[in-house]
Amino acid sequence: MEPFRHTHRVTYSECTVGNHVYYGRYLDLLEEARGELFRTVGRTFLDWQNDGVIFPVIEVQLRYKGAARYDEVVTIEVRVLEASGVRLNFGYRLLGADGTLKVEGETRHVCTSLEDRPRRLPPELVASLAPFRVPAA
C-alpha cells in the first residue's frame, strides 16, 4: 500500500525567528495534506459538509524528529489507519527535501452530523479511501 503524498513549500509565515516551522503549524500542513487526499478521492471537506457530514478531530499525536525550514519542499505522506463505524484515523510522515523524517503523527476523527451527532462513515467514503488504508495486522 502506497501512501497518499502531498508536497508543500514551507512559507516564511510558517517559520519562527530561528527559521524552522513553528510546532503548531505542522497541524496546518497535515490538514492541507488530508484535504488534498479527500479532493483526490472525489469529494472535498466542503462537499461532505454540504451533505451534513463532518469529521472533527478528537485526538492528535505528533512526534518531532527534525525541523523543516523556510523554502524547503516537504512531502507529507498520509495513510488511513482506520475507517470503520464512526472512526476515521490517519497516520502521517512529513519528510524533508532530502527524505529525512521531520514529523510523524496521527489524527483521530469521528464522523458526525452538523449537530454533532455521531454517524457511521458513508460507505462511498470508506471505499474511496481504501487504496490508502493500512492493512489490519
C-alpha distances in angstroms, 82 versus 24, 46, 56, 114, 136? Answer: 24, 21, 15, 22, 9
For residue 137, what pLDDT band results from cuts at 50, 70 and 90? Answer: low
CATH (one of 3.40.50.300, 3.10.129.10, 1.20.120.1200, 3.30.70.140) for 4-131: 3.10.129.10
Q: What does the pLDDT look like over 79-97, one tens digit per residue? A: 999 999 999 999 999 999 9
Question: By percentage, how much of the chain surpasses pLDDT 70?
Answer: 99
pLDDT of residue 136: 75
pTM for this one? 0.95
For residue 1, what pLDDT band results from cuts at 50, 70 and 90? Answer: confident
